[in-house]
Structure 1
């Protein structure tokens, strides 16, 4: 019978792969959050906040008018 010997992977290599995978996942999560959330300093966000402010102020003026 032939004995099949499985090659043993050094323990430090498997730990390095696990650590690299964890750091990769963390990086991707932070990158995803940074892409999805627009900051206040972005021009599109300034325009939407200005538009919302105008809409809210016009709503309060129309409610106070009658």
Structure 2
């Protein structure tokens, strides 16, 4: 499951560049918008990368062991 903290977001847009299927930005201020809270497994590497690249640490990926 992916969560975002819009209060921490600094609108750098790195998440949208890495995983546009999962993240977007509000037009008025560039703050992150989560499109998919539970992305398919094929997108998880890019979601991890987006979380790593986020300068505000506003993205959290909680992976559940199966």
What range is the shorter-chain TM-score in?
Answer: under 0.3
**Larger RCO (alpha carbons 8 Å, 6+ apart):** 2
Higher helix share: 1
| TM-score, with structure 1 as normaliser | 0.23
| TM-score, with structure 2 as normaliser | 0.23
